[in-house]
């Protein structure tokens, strides 16, 4: 086990582990750390905690110090520089006639590098643009092409549910989302209903998938033979979230299905043989 703190460098960014050197830090503290990009100012997202060695990528860098008033002023100054750099970069991109969309600009904390994030439908030859920007700012320039999902994460906005994008609020990593998840959650495969603002499958299908998998495990599927208080029947419809089933009871005189809770039915095997009951006693 090793003591670490979790540091985040963007509002909804990935959390990285650093060695606190025995110094106690609290959540939301601003700290100065050394990263692959150079010296950066981050925020404590996870206070001092013990984690297993396999969760750590060695060598583990240390927290240099807690941010002071001077560091916080530097952060504010960098934010203003980023706004100016964004406007200048837009002008340069237009002047070079490049087919690219500037998304965001970030200064490293020590002002040794400026990162320009952009999207583009095809590969862009931005060598002349880099030379132009380097001559303008006289620091190292780096252009990074990002995908449409990363663009939404950086810019933010409101989804079709009326709430802010999940990716810009609490999802740290972009994970793979599949049509299979959509089907298992019983959502109509209508592109306008299942696609986010980025045009990709909505992120909520991923983080809700685990709950749906648990519900599927305890809920009879459509077509299953079950035993209800009204008799045996076949499941014709399932509402996973409410746990209510529609069952066509074989012994009912009318043809209407009955509605029953999943906790009030017993799953039967094929051929009508009942599953062994589990009453907690260990007996069958």
Please write the tens of the pLDDT for every residue from 15-38.
899 999 989 999 999 999 988 778
Tens digits of per-residue pLDDT, 43-62? 999 999 998 888 888 888 89
Characterize 163-192 residue by residue with b for buried, 16 or more Cβ atoms within 10 angstroms of its Cβ, and e for exposed. Answer: eebbbbeebeeeeebeeebbebbeeeeeee
Token representation of residue 185: 């959650």
Q: Is the pLDDT of residue 253 over 80?
A: no
Cis peptide before 271 (omega within 30 of 0): no
The pLDDT assigned to 269 comes to 57
Tell me which residue of 83, 101, 87, 173 sits closest to 143, measured CA to CA. Answer: 101
In angstroms, rounded to a whole number, what is the distance separating the alpha carbons of residues 69 and 77? 12
Residue 66 φ then ψ, to 5°: -80, 140
What is the residue extent of each domain of the chain? 2-67, 73-146, 151-210, 225-272
Q: Is the pLDDT of residue 131 over 90?
A: yes
Tens digits of per-residue pLDDT, 81-129? 999 999 999 999 999 999 999 999 999 998 889 999 999 988 889 999 9
Length of the chain: 284
Out of 1-10, 106-115, 138-147, 264-273, least confident range: 264-273
* Nearby residues of 60 by Cβ (< 8 Å), 6 or more positions away: 2, 4, 17, 18, 19
The pLDDT assigned to 60 comes to 87
In angstroms, rounded to a whole number, what is the distance separating the alpha carbons of residues 119 and 157? 17
Q: Answer whether 209's CB lies under 8 Å from 185's CB.
A: yes
Model confidence band, residue 252 (pLDDT cutoffs 50, 70, 90): low
Range 73-146: architecture per CATH:
2-Layer Sandwich (3.30)
Q: Is the pLDDT of residue 164 over 90?
A: no
- Rounded to the nearest integer, the mean pLDDT of the chain is 86
Q: Answer whether 103's CB lies under 8 Å from 143's CB.
A: no
List of E strands, the chain = 2-8, 15-18, 30-35, 38-51, 63-66, 101-107, 113-119, 140-145, 225-228, 231-239, 244-249, 258-261, 266-267
Mean of the pLDDT values across residues 2-15?
86
User: For the chain, what percent of residues have pLDDT higher than 70?
Assistant: 93
């Amino acid at each position: 086990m090793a003591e670490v703190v979790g540091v985040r460098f963007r509002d909804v960014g990935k959390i990285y582990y650093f060695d606190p050197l025995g110094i106690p830090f609290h959540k939301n503290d601003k700290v100065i750390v050394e990263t692959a990009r150079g010296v950066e100012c981050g925020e404590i997202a996870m206070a001092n905690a013990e984690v297993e060695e396999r969760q750590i990528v060695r060598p583990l860098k240390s927290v240099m110090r807690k941010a002071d008033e001077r560091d916080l002023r530097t952060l504010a100054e960098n934010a203003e520089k980023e706004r100016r750099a964004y406007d200048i970069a837009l002008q340069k991109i237009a002047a070079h006639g490049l087919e690219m969309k500037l998304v965001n600009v970030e200064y490293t904390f020590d002002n040794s590098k400026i990162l320009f994030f952009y999207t583009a439908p095809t590969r862009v030859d931005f060598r002349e643009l880099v030379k132009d920007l380097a001559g303008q700012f006289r620091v190292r320039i780096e252009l990074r092409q990002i995908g449409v999902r990363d663009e939404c994460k950086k810019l933010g906005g409101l989804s079709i549910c009326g709430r802010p994008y999940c990716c810009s609020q609490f999802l740290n990593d972009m994970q793979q989302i599949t049509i299979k998840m959509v089907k298992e959650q019983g959502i109509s495969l209508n592109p306008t209903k299942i696609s986010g603002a980025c045009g990709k499958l909505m992120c909520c299908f991923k983080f809700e998938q685990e709950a749906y998998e648990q519900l599927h495990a305890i809920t009879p599927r459509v077509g299953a033979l079950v035993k209800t208080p009204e008799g045996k029947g076949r499941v014709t419809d399932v509402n996973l979230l409410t746990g209510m089933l529609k069952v066509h009871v074989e012994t009912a005189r009318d043809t209407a299905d009955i509605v029953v809770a999943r906790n009030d039915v017993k799953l039967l095997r094929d051929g009508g043989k009942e599953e062994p009951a589990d009453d907690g006693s260990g007996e069958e």
